[in-house]
Structure 1
Amino acid sequence: MQSVGSEDAYAQLRRCATWIFDLDNTLYPCTIGLFRQMDERMRAYIAAFLGMDEAAAFALQKDYFHTYGTSLRGLMNHHQMDPAPFLADVHDIDLSLLEADVVLEQALRQLSGRKLIFTNATTRHAERVLDRLGIGHHFTGIFDIVAADYRPKPTLAAYHALIDQFGIDPRDAVMVEDMALNLRPAAELGMTTVWVRTLSEHGQMGSDGDHIHHVADDLRDWLQAVTAVTVASGQDTADGSVD
């Protein structure tokens, strides 16, 4: 694991052609609580779908999440759930707590390279979140759970599908993610990895090991540090200028 704030640790990032960002709890702080809304909607949907109380639904939801990477994958495997209505319902949440993030927008603008979203959620949800944050114009593609054929991170097949769809050279790519476990396949494929460290128990699972190359306790601060190094080195920024 690289030390945070070291110029040597940032040097390799100057050459990377593709930046792959997770969405939820990565591009905004997990403390905002959006995932809590999704968690509650998921529990209620499972309870209604399977005719059980919410306590039993919650236990099943978490069991499938830990086993398959998403609760949905377990529900599809064991209960033949149609994913489309489930995904539409779970992501029908209030985004009013999300505000335009000027600092993040500026950091992304300074960051050289193509930028993509890789999420276990849906494209529609990603578009709504990016729009609220005011950063959607920086991303040239979204690879969602549907594009992955409902194979969630950290399933290796999802990463291969992402690479194939966007023509990514893993050795020239960076993956930024709040769930440490999801960075292991990326590192195995040759990507440089950045763990957005949170206090979430799920986020910290799998954080031991050399598959984490950089750590960001605050993504905005970390990106600002990286772009400051890039600009100081005289490398062009994403819009072709050096500020």
Structure 2
Amino acid sequence: MVELDIDKSVSLDLCIPLYKQYGTTMAGLRVVGYQFDYNDFHGFVHGRLAYEKLKPDPVLRNILLSLPIRKLVFTNGDMLHALRAMKRLGIKDCFEGVLCFETLNPTSATPLPSNKVEIFDIMKHLAHPEPGVELPRSPIPCKPNLDAMLHALKLADINPQTTIFFNDSVRNIQAGKKIGMHIVLVGTSERIKGADHALESLHNIK
């Protein structure tokens, strides 16, 4: 990933744990000291996605249009990524708006946190968490960070107490539950702690 000034030695062994810990790999990479242009990063990562595999979903579209409530997309991705996916699915006009990376972040990289740690220390902690030891927070706010989620809801004038949150991430739904939202876990019919409901498919929303 030379274009983003990220060393080639940074592999999935690092990226996946950072994604799980910080919500996005980008947020984690900033903690361990990498500097890069946010737009370049999104362009590189999302530019490799097979958007063409997404097909229009008229069933989901009709369900969304039939629900007489405010509907917004909340993603850690950037606006372009969200709009491309929604357009491919044929549901772009079903939502009032999109809460995304740009909603919560400046357009350029902020200074690195003063208490950033070395990659080795991060990996060691992720592999063997020590009680009472907290990793530094990322300068990139995103789900499942509670402050980031509350800030996004405030900007959109959304009351979490009267909101239904659909998500496929266990950490995100548990964070959503902590701030008072009604939770629906998507992608499985098995309900877990933090989820009020579980749907294998969004076609079962009603």
| Aligned-residue CA RMSD (Å) | 2.2
Cα offsets for 1:78-123 (capped at 9, x unmatched): 2123322101211113311111111101111111201000001111
Cα offsets for 1:114-152 (capped at 9, x unmatched): 100000111111101111111111111101122122312
CA contact (8 A) 1:76 1:83 kept: no
Indicate yes or no: 2:206 matched with 1:177.
no
What is the deviation of 1:51? 3.0
Q: How many residues align?
A: 170
Give unmatched runs, 5+ long, in structure 2: 106-139
CA distance in 2, matches of 1:51, 1:138: 41
Residue in structure 1 matched with residue 122 of structure 2 by the alignment: none
CA contact (8 A) 2:188 2:198 kept: no
Among 188, 196, 199, the alignment partner of 1:216 is 199
Among 170, 177, 191, the alignment partner of 2:181 is 191
CA contact (8 A) 1:76 1:82 kept: no
Amino acid at match of 1:89: F
CA distance in 1, matches of 2:13, 2:63: 40
CA distance in 2, matches of 1:175, 1:127: 19
What is the deviation of 1:189? 1.5
Normalising to structure 2: TM-score of the pair? Answer: 0.76
- Overall identity of the aligned pairs, in %: 28
Indicate yes or no: 2:39 matched with 1:84.
yes
Bigger fraction of residues in helix: 1
CA distance in 2, matches of 1:51, 1:72: 14
Normalising to structure 1: TM-score of the pair? Answer: 0.65
Matches within 5 A, 1:202-213: 208-209=192-193, 211-213=194-196
Cα offsets for 1:9-42 (capped at 9, x unmatched): xxxxxxxxxxxxxxxxxxxxxxxxxxxxxxxxxx
